[in-house]
Amino acid sequence: PYRIEIIDTTFRDGQQSPLLFDTGKYRFSLEEKKLLLAGLIELGVTHFEFFSPVVGKAEEQDVRELIAYAQTLTSRELHCLAHCRCNLEDIQRALEVGCNGLNLYLGVSPLAQQHNAQKSLEESVALAREVIRATRQAHPDLYIRFSAEDAFRTPLEDIFSLYDAVYPYVNTLGMPDTVGIAEPEDVVAVVTQLQARYPDARLECHFHNDRGLALANVNAAVRAGVRYVDASIWGLAERSGIPSVTGVLFNLSKRYPEIAAQYNLSQCYPLNVLMASILGTLVPYTEPVSLTNRTHTAGVHQKAVLSEKRVYEAHSLHDFGVDKNQLLLGPLSGWNLIYYYLKEVENLAIDKDQAKRLTQEFKAHTHQIGRGKRPEELLLELAAAQGIPRLS
Ligand code: HCA
């Protein structure tokens, strides 16, 4: 069957998000990670990327505990993957904490050669071949993914040199857009060439959102044949992040209805709300699976949605757990919402003509809103001044 695997990296790239610094949290606690892990498993995610234990004792202990905890939550086969440098010691440590797969990476872009790896292309190719061949020999069934960091700023022939060397030993080849430089057309070109050259490897994508194109790049990659998609809750990751788990599922399910059988999509929004409660902020307004996307503020929209939601709600967000919509009373509201609000919510004995008159007055006083006054307060004051009574 057609499967698209989300590789959740909330616990790796997600913890590299500056948002964790902005909120003063810096890292998730073990308890928070357990809640998030349970939410992801509930949603049907089975692939998780964790930090390599070498980043520090606290992460090492958490990874160990999370892997054990995950087994208690589901009988499905889970892939607990360590994001690991191409180095036998790091690999050994990752396997010792219980990871059953490796997400190995190594950069060979001109910048990486000069400033990061400080190795020539030939040296990096030899290192990758040696480490991955030895790992495969020692662990014939281990899941191994290998990625050329900054793939979209690396000449394709250099990626070929590297991947040719490791292809016999890996399950999956990645193509990370580490600095968010790729456009969908570039993605399709790279996927097409990798597929042709490495027909037995699965392809994985990891797109950063520096240009706001990460989700569009995922769509393009999957249409071109990629089946492994890196994502995180809210899209938390280094800098402006990567696509969110829920944004990816929401988008892909439009084209691939099979996703609804693989994932428990109604858990999408609860997962985003869980992260909001942990970070103490609202679900980001740019998140596709959000109440924001079912919220209406302009009078014209509110009037239409009161009659038929589909006029301004094209997407089945209800299926993704956003089980209500909201019309916000505010400076842009028209008489339809004002009538509805006063009659249905506040239970005032108001008729349509009164609501229209009250709306004129409300509009004349909107400068007061937001300066210590909520729209609802202003409206009730104006209604009281007109002597409109409350029923019962
Ligand atoms: C980073 C590394 C990475 C790794 C992606 C991968 C990237 O944090 O810089 O291993 O496929 O974007 O290159 O996230």
pLDDT at 158: 96
Tell me the pLDDT tens digit for each residue of 63-117. 999 999 999 999 999 999 999 999 999 999 999 999 999 999 999 888 888 787 7
Distance of CA 149 from the midpoint of ligand 1 (Å): 6
- Residue to mutate, 83, 84, 175, 203, ligand 1, most ligand atoms under 8 Å from C-beta: 83
Distance from C-alpha of 18 to C-alpha of 27, rounded to nearest angstrom:
10
Distance of CA 11 from the midpoint of ligand 1 (Å): 13
Distance of CA 145 from the midpoint of ligand 1 (Å): 12
Name the CA radius of gyration of the chain, rounded: 26
Question: Token pair of 121, please?
Answer: 């292309």
| pTM of structure | 0.94
Instruction: Based on DSSP, count helices (H) and strands (E) in the chain, helices before strands.
Output: 16, 10
Residue at 375: amino acid letter:
P
Distance from C-alpha of 315 to C-alpha of 325, rounded to nearest angstrom:
12
Distance from C-alpha of 272 to C-alpha of 245, rounded to nearest angstrom:
9
DSSP 3-state of 68? helix
Candidates 266, 237, 239; CA nearest to 250 is 266
Distance from C-alpha of 230 to C-alpha of 214, rounded to nearest angstrom:
11
Tell me the pLDDT tens digit for each residue of 265-322. 999 999 999 999 999 999 999 999 999 999 999 999 999 999 999 999 999 999 999 9
- 60, containing H or E segment: helix 57-73
Average pLDDT for runs of 10 along the chain of length 392: 89 97 95 98 98 96 98 96 97 97 94 81 96 98 97 97 98 97 98 98 98 98 97 98 98 94 97 97 95 95 95 94 96 96 96 97 94 94 95 84
